[in-house]
Amino acid sequence: MSTTQTIAPQRQDQILEDSVRQERPLVLTHNSPDGWRTFKGVFVELAGGAPTLSLRVDLREHQSPTLLPTIGSTLGITFRLGHKKCMFNTVLLNTQRRAEEAIWTVRKPEHLQQLQRRAYERAVPPKGAIIAVRFWQEIPGQDSSVDGRSVRHGQLEDISAGGMRIKVADPKEIELDRTYKCVFTPRPGKPALVLDAVLRHREAADSGRASLGFQFVGMETTADGLRLLDRLVRVVNHFHRAHSHEGPSR
């Protein structure tokens, strides 16, 4: 079963050194006051005398300084390594702005996790399964209790470790690039999954409905999030196995 695995320390150091030498691309996530934000960057330096990493971050899509992480913020970082995806959480130690980019110095990770990229292949629910999804947008500064009128409802179309698509009957007032809290129970008798997700795509579907594409965010930033990711991967694997046992359609 493909779940997150911790890389041995010696191997971890080699991966980070190679990432700096190759200026390997990466994606950073940060939970801003306006919801989760993602940034693209590359590795640029691994300090020899201090446990720090330097990253060059593209800020062309992030002009508002209020949405940028500040010193001491927790960041999640992911990058590809062959057929696997690596991830770790860290803390922002320093930042230097350079026009449309910045150099962010972060703490060298204590643990580096990896996950087979097959977990990021879409899987559809087993035949006959109808999986309801509730989602809503949390407003910063307001009571965290959920107003029933703000909860939207949809049906799961497909899912992977990276995100999901759901179909909704009424797509009005659902905003792109906003963070939503999503709750659903993909397997009967199992606890519900509660995930943060950013709406990335919205496409028209049949009968006035819409198909919404969500990107899961933030799981790599905490130990609880990594355990949640493990649960999610098991769900994806279960869906894949269910379809492999169904055999070819007639």
User: CATH number of the domain that 201 lies in?
Assistant: 2.40.10.220
Contacts from 168-172 at CB under 8 Å and sequence distance 24+?
168/209, 168/210, 168/212, 169/208, 169/209, 171/202, 171/209, 171/210, 171/212
Task: Note whether 104 and 148 are same-domain residues.
Answer: no
Residue 249 is predicted with a pLDDT of 46
Q: Which of 86, 118, 150 is the last residue of a domain?
A: 118
How far is Cα 179 from Cα 220, in angstroms, rounded to an integer?
Answer: 16
Contacts from 85-89 at CB under 8 Å and sequence distance 24+?
85/114, 85/115, 85/116, 85/117, 85/120, 86/7, 86/15, 86/112, 86/113, 86/114, 86/115, 87/4, 87/112, 87/113, 87/114, 87/115, 87/220, 88/112, 88/113, 88/220, 89/220, 89/221, 89/222
Task: Note whether 137 and 229 are same-domain residues.
Answer: yes
Task: Note whether 112 and 125 are same-domain residues.
Answer: no
CATH number reported for the structural domain that contains residue 23 in this entry = 2.30.110.10
- Sorted by sequence, the CB contacts under 8 Å of residue 182 that are 6+ apart come out as 133, 134, 135, 164, 193, 194, 195, 196, 197, 214
> How does residue 62 score in pLDDT terms, banded at 50, 70 and 90?
confident
> How does residue 149 score in pLDDT terms, banded at 50, 70 and 90?
low
pTM metric for this prediction:
0.87
Task: Note whether 182 and 195 are same-domain residues.
Answer: yes
Q: Which of 118, 133, 150 is the last residue of a domain?
A: 118
Return the percentage of the chain with pLDDT > 70, whole number.
92
Question: Length of the chain, please?
Answer: 250
Return the percentage of the chain with pLDDT > 90, whole number.
70
Residue 242 is predicted with a pLDDT of 87
Q: Are 196 and 178 in contact (CB under 8 A)?
A: no
How far is Cα 104 from Cα 236, in angstroms, rounded to an integer?
Answer: 34
* SS3 assignment, position 20: helix
Q: SS3 breakdown of the chain: % helix, strand, coil, rounded to 5?
A: 20, 45, 35
Look at 33-37, 79-83, 86-90 and tell me which has the smallest mean pLDDT: 33-37
Q: How many domains in the chain?
A: 2
Residue 153: domain span: 121-246
Look at 47-51, 114-118, 127-131, 175-179 and tell me which has the smallest mean pLDDT: 47-51
